[in-house]
Chains A and B, each alone.
Chain A
Amino acid sequence: MNTPQVLISINLIFYLIGAILMSIAWMSLRDRSNPKRLTTALFWFLFGIGFLFGDLMLMYLGKTLTHKLLGIIVMLLALLAGFNLLGGGKYQTEDKAKVDADKNASAQRLGNKLFLPAICIPIITVILSITGKDAVWGNYALLDPKNLTLACLTVACLISVLYACKITGGTPITAIQESRRLVDAIGWALILPLMLAMLGGVFVAAKTGVSVQTLVTLMVNPDSRLALIIIYCLGMALFTMIMGNAFAAFPVMAAGIALPFLIQQHHANPAPLVAMGMLSGYCGTLMTPMAANFNIVPAALLELKDKYQVIKYQIPTAIAVLICNIGLMYFIV
């Protein structure tokens, strides 16, 4: 093997995520105030397996068996979540007034310094991703070049957590203990993006895109340029809503409508045609729960009661932009 040695490799990042998930599973198991503690712990444990042991399993069990076992885990995760077996615990203190007073006191004491570790995460990520591409540590490349942003984010998080500990006097252990509160608040939504990527994979294997393409071309009136543009933009938005991802919808709609009818028949200008088509897809992304990491995870992260509220607030903008987009395309392309 001639792969260069990498210090912060994607595998190391997965071990780190796995370790955090396993700690959360362990803490959930020991939390007697949580009536669903056994199933909650099982859920995070099962989710953690793929991160902590995925590579080992590949090495010892081979591809087929590993993937099958993980497939079974995926089904179990869905069942645990589907039958509402995840619950939150009571965490550290129950005396809310005291917790709030403590928070206010330390907010007063630490002042604006509290912002610094939080701001460090994005700033260090960006600086590293611009300058750290070729950084080396002895004989090792520092950051995995194939997963540069993720490696940069990991380093940024490690630095920030140490910095946060230094400022607040907490420890990394406290940080992980505290993160259980957030993880419980997010719950199953944390896994939804992975599940959706998985569904996308099944759609690709089942050639769903081809079916959509045939279906859409059936509705096309090749002589009307406006109708073609409307179907192209709406099709991008709708198919993106189903796939949760404009990247998956783009090749289907571009090969089905944009290329044969708009470019070859109506001699449309390709650059604006594809750019605006993709952006029509993004309007769809704003309107669908299938784009979970943009729409559902944030709702969970902000502890909204209605998990669809972010989408509801994005729909007016999405529809308005989509209409503008159709108009722009008609006049520009």
Chain B
Amino acid sequence: MDLTSLLPLVGIPIIVLGFALKFNPLLVVVSAGLATGLAVGMDFGLLLETFGEKFMNSRQLASIVLILPIIALLEKFGLKERAQNWVASIRSATTGRILMLYMVVRQFTCSLGLISLGGQAQTVRPLLFPMAEGAALSQYGDLPEALRDRIAAHAAACDNVALFFGEDIFIAFGAVLLMSGFLKENGITNVEPLHIGLWAIPTGLCALIIHLLRLSFLDAKIAREIADYRAQLSTQTSTKTTANGGQVS
């Protein structure tokens, strides 16, 4: 086998190592791009030009910047606090149940093509996470930092899973069109986008069941973590009071 045919792969170990060794991702990605380009014999000027062109053509990926001012303004005026108080008033609301409900609704609406009805900046940061956190707060009071992060990460993850395995069912979604285009190009003309969308349903259901099952254990996990945290706190305070001469107020 001709080894030069492997040269375009040189960026891959750079990415894997760079991320594993926790270098700054921007630096890792640019280095991988430089190495790949130079390895296949692009000259530096041309490479810079490719960088600039692709960067310019992907500017729409920064559209999250448009949403941030609104979220920031509402948070200054207590959006997060309001979300938490509101959830606290619903007695049956728990972190796990809120995330499960969101997951079902999100995946279903995505499968109908209503993809922008949710999103990390649109719904997860301003609404879903404060509510999921608020449910735990109203149940247990103060939360340890690690638990707050755990709930946040779960909120982000459930939006992603619901989105990915919902959107592919919708026939006008880009991926479905890409697939039917690929088949047509290769001479397979009897496949409609509708068939491709329908065949995304079994996997979509698997993903839904698997992720809901995981979320259904979340409340019990949170309870256990809180119990550990409190036990730790009380041993800390009891050693402190002993050190202070055994005074108990």
In the bound assembly, the distance between CA atoms of A70 and B57 in angstroms comes to 11
Candidate in B1, B118, B119 with the most chain A CB atoms within 10 angstroms: B119
> How many A-B pairs with Cβ below 8 Å?
422
In the bound assembly, the distance between CA atoms of A107 and B45 in angstroms comes to 55
- Flag if A71 contacts B49 (CB, 8 Å): yes
Residues of A within 8 A of B204 (CB): 279
A56 within 8 A of B: no
Binds A, one of B90-98, B183-191, B225-233, B239-247: B183-191
Candidate in B56, B119, B178 with the most chain A CB atoms within 10 angstroms: B56
Residues of A within 8 A of B164 (CB): 279, 282, 285-286
Binding site secondary structure of chain A = helix
Residue among A14, A150, A292 making CB contact with B25, cutoff 8 Å: A292
0/1 interface trace, chain A 242-265, chain B, CB 8 Å (1 if under)? 100011001100110001000100
In the bound assembly, the distance between CA atoms of A63 and B129 in angstroms comes to 44
**Given the interface contacts A74-B30, A157-B67, A279-B203, does A198 sit within 8 Å of B73 by beta carbon?**
no
Which residue of the partner chain B has the closest CB to A47? B62
- Flag if A175 contacts B72 (CB, 8 Å): yes
Residues of A within 8 A of B150 (CB): 309, 313
- Flag if B203 contacts A276 (CB, 8 Å): yes
Residues of A within 8 A of B59 (CB): 14, 17, 50-51, 54, 194
- Flag if A70 contacts B45 (CB, 8 Å): no
Residues of A within 8 A of B (CB-CB), count: 147
A328 within 8 A of B: yes
Shortest beta-carbon distance, B202 to chain A, in Å?
Answer: 5
A29 within 8 A of B: no
A122 within 8 A of B: yes
Residue among A72, A160, A172, A205 making CB contact with B50, cutoff 8 Å: A205
In the bound assembly, the distance between CA atoms of A212 and B204 in angstroms comes to 28
- Flag if A324 contacts B210 (CB, 8 Å): yes
- Flag if A314 contacts B70 (CB, 8 Å): no
- Flag if B116 contacts A190 (CB, 8 Å): no
Residue among A14, A305, A314 making CB contact with B157, cutoff 8 Å: A314
Residues of A bordering B, CB below 8 Å: 10, 13-14, 16-17, 20-21, 50-51, 54, 63-64, 66-75, 77-79, 81-82, 84, 102-108, 110-112, 114-115, 117-119, 121-123, 125-126, 129, 147, 149-150, 152-154, 157, 160-161, 164-165, 168, 170, 172, 174-176, 178-183, 188-203, 205-208, 210-212, 214-215, 218, 242, 246-247, 250-251, 254-255, 259, 263, 270-272, 274-276, 278-279, 282, 285-286, 289-290, 292-299, 301-306, 309-310, 312-314, 316-317, 320-321, 324-325, 328, 332
Can you give 24 A-B contacts (C-beta < 8 A)?
A17-B63, A69-B52, A114-B79, A118-B126, A122-B119, A126-B116, A153-B67, A179-B69, A180-B72, A194-B58, A198-B54, A201-B54, A242-B12, A274-B182, A276-B200, A293-B64, A302-B152, A309-B152, A310-B156, A312-B153, A314-B157, A321-B207, A324-B210, A332-B202
Q: Please list the 8 inter-chain residue pairs (A to B) with the smallest Cβ-Cβ separation, ordered nearest first.
A: A107-B78, A71-B48, A70-B52, A82-B27, A201-B54, A67-B52, A197-B58, A178-B72
